[in-house]
Amino acid sequence: MLTEEMLQRSKAFKPSARWTEYVRSQYGGAADAKVVVAWDTQLSRWVLAYEASDHVVTAGGAYPVKWLKAFYLWQGVGDTYLPPGPEMVKWLRKHDIYSDRTPEAWHKRAVAPDKKLAEDKERSHWDNVKYEFKCIYDAHGKPVSSQVGPMSHNLGKGPNAGSKYFGPGKHNIGWKDDAGRTETTSTGSAG
């Protein structure tokens, strides 16, 4: 629903048949989207608007109306005046979600740089990880083993002779039958 204020604001836009035809002829997406170039009599600037139809609610009920729905105030940096022309067509081609070929064209232009940036960040992260591993390799002079830490399950090799328990076997009394133990302690004692 359209409010009375929105309709009054729309009446300040005076469509330019010449510039509307120019923009639509130069960019098919503008014609498909019903883009209109209009002069805003309140702000003294050109605006880009859509031809729209809606219902306005008054005391007597809802009535169908045609109106111009502005979507871009055509002005430069610091509110400077910009004349209509080829720059409008370039701006619409760059920013409009419609394309004269495919609807995905705008999406690809808008999203592709972000996707490429994310892929570059991911690649950079894994390059850093590889570099850190290379530094570890170079610091120790031998390849980094997948077997790290005080525990080893590698058939008797490693810092604790293959024990599945932490520390030397003499402290694991009652937990494991350690036939290689030289101390004699009773089963279950804390040793």
Query: Quick one: pLDDT at residue 83?
Result: 92
Asked which of 8-17, 40-49, 150-159 is least confident by mean pLDDT, the reply is 150-159
What band does 125 get if pLDDT is binned at 50, 70 and 90? confident
Please give the residue that has the higher pLDDT: either 10 or 165.
10
Given a contact cutoff of 8 angstroms between Cβ atoms, the answer to whether 68 and 10 are in contact is yes
Q: What angle do CA 142, 148, 153 make, to 5 degrees?
A: 115
- The pLDDT tens digits for 135-158 are 777 666 666 555 545 544 555 555
Answer with the residue of higher pLDDT: 13 or 170.
13
Higher pLDDT, 134 or 109: 134
Pairwise CA distance, residues 28 & 23, whole Å? 9
pTM: 0.50
What is the residue-averaged pLDDT of the chain?
Answer: 75
**What's the rounded Cα separation, in Å, for the pair 78 and 70?**
20
Handedness of CA 31, 34, 35, 36 (dihedral sign): positive
Q: Give residue limits of the domains in the chain.
A: 4-100, 102-168
pLDDT one-digit tens code per residue, 14-41: 999 999 999 999 888 788 788 999 999 9
pLDDT at 2: 80
Q: Say which amino acid occupies 22.
A: Y
pLDDT category at 101 given cuts 50, 70, 90 is low
